[in-house]
Amino acid sequence: MELADSLIPTAGAVGLLPMVTYFFMVVASFIFLGIFITAVTQNRNQSSDLNAPPQRLALALLAVVSASSGLVYYLIQLYYHDVLAELPAISDATDRQTLIRESYNAIGQYRYVAWFITAPLLLMLVVAPLKLPWESNKRLLIRLLVVSILMVFTGYIGHQQLSFDNEIQAGPKLGWGGASALCYGYILINLYRLWKDKGHDHQSFRTMTLLFAGSWGIYLLGYGLTVSPIDFNWFHLAYTLTDLVSQISIGLVSYVTWSNSKAVSLST
Which domain does 246 fall in, by range? Answer: 3-267
Amino acid, res. 186: Y
* pLDDT tens-place values along the chain, 268 residues long: 343 444 566 666 778 888 789 889 888 988 888 788 777 766 555 544 434 444 556 777 888 888 889 989 998 999 998 888 888 888 898 898 988 988 898 888 899 989 999 999 999 999 988 888 888 888 999 999 999 999 999 999 999 898 887 788 999 999 999 999 999 999 999 999 998 887 677 888 999 999 999 999 999 999 999 999 899 999 999 999 999 999 999 988 888 876 666 555 545 5
Indicate the length of the chain as a whole number.
268
Task: Pick the closest to residue 183 from 141, 155, 215 (CA basis).
Answer: 155
CA distance 63 to 59: 6
Please give the full DSSP string across 101-169, using - where no structure is assigned. HHHHHHHTHHHHHHHHHHHHHHHHHHHGGG---HHHHHHHHHHHHHHHHHHHHHHHHHHT-B-TTS-B-
In degrees and rounded to multiples of 5, residue 162 shows phi and psi of -125, 150
Number of structural domains found in the chain: 1
Q: What is the mean pLDDT of the chain?
A: 84
| pLDDT more than 90, % of the chain | 43
Domain CATH number, residue 37? 1.20.1070.10
CA distance 184 to 144: 10
Predicted confidence (pLDDT) per residue in 28-78, tens digit: 988 888 788 777 766 555 544 434 444 556 777 888 888 889 989 998 999
CA distance 20 to 4: 17
